[in-house]
Structure formats: C-alpha cells, structure tokens
Amino acid sequence: MELDLTQSSLLFRKSIKRYLKVNAPAVKFFFGSESTDDLTEWCSVKIGDTVNGAVADTLITIHCCTRNDDEFMNLSRLSDKIIPLFSKDKVIPFIYQVDIGGGIMEWQKLMNIYIEYVNIGADIEGDSAIKMKVMSIRLIYQMKE
C-alpha cells in the first residue's frame, strides 16, 4: 500500500522549506546542523512531531539568530522579516513535484497548510554572544487517514 501524499513528511518538509525561501529570500535558513561560524544572522528551522489524524498538526520552531549585535537591533530586524510569514491570514501551500515531460519538474499544490498559532519568545543571549528569538508555530492541515 502506497503512502498518501498528504501523509508524506518529506513533502511537508519540502513545502515549509520552499515557502520560507521563496517568501524571505534574503534570509539564510538552515534545516540541519550546517555551520554558521561565518554568518552574522540566520534562522535555524526545526520541524517537530506531527500528530496524525483527519486534521494533522505539526509544531515548527524557528530560532532567529544574530552575532555581534549588542543592542538586539539586527535580531529585531531579522525577526521582523519572519513574523509576517506566519500571520493568521497566511496559507502555506503543501506541494509536490511532478514530471511535466522531458525531465522537467514542476511544483503542484496538493492542499493548504494553515497557521493555528504563533508564540514569539523574548530576546535572549546565548553562547558566543549570539542573540536569539525563538518562534514556535503550530501548523494544521487535512490528512487522509
């Protein structure tokens, strides 16, 4: 039995990654353990557990980070680029790629992912004078059971 596309964690990850990169192209997003030693600002994205059901929900966490930012000004500027992407009126397309012929792959929309809530943490200072703001975003979408 084949996995229904709406249950694919790979497609979900690709959808979130593409949404962020298309809508905030100037921001450096990391989805793994890449080195940030030479950067002064970036966002680290963690896609958490998914609760399956007729309506699935997934928590993603985004750590907005800056370095050499004594007054948190750059951190505020960076987080101001991310926060609007997750307002209640936004819809994230759940996408997949199809071969439209000749080996050309095209993105197709399967359904919508909705923002249920966003929790924006306080500005904090971490190791190596790195400043951070952590955002937790709960996303919901229909899933075939």
| 6, 110 contact by CB (below 8 A) | yes
Q: Record the pTM.
A: 0.86
- Ranges of residues in the chain with a pLDDT under 50 are none
Q: How does pLDDT run across 104-123, given as a tens digit for each residue?
A: 777 888 888 999 989 999 99
Residue-number span of the structural domain to which 112 is assigned: 5-142
The count of structural domains within the chain is 1
| 128, 39 contact by CB (below 8 A) | no
Give the domain CATH number at 107: 3.30.2000.20
Q: What is the pLDDT of residue 136?
A: 95
* Percent of residues, the chain, with pLDDT higher than 70: 94
Q: What is the pLDDT of residue 3?
A: 63
Mean of pLDDT over the chain: 86
| Sequence-ordered list of residues with C-beta below 8 angstroms from that of 71, at least 6 positions apart, any chain | none
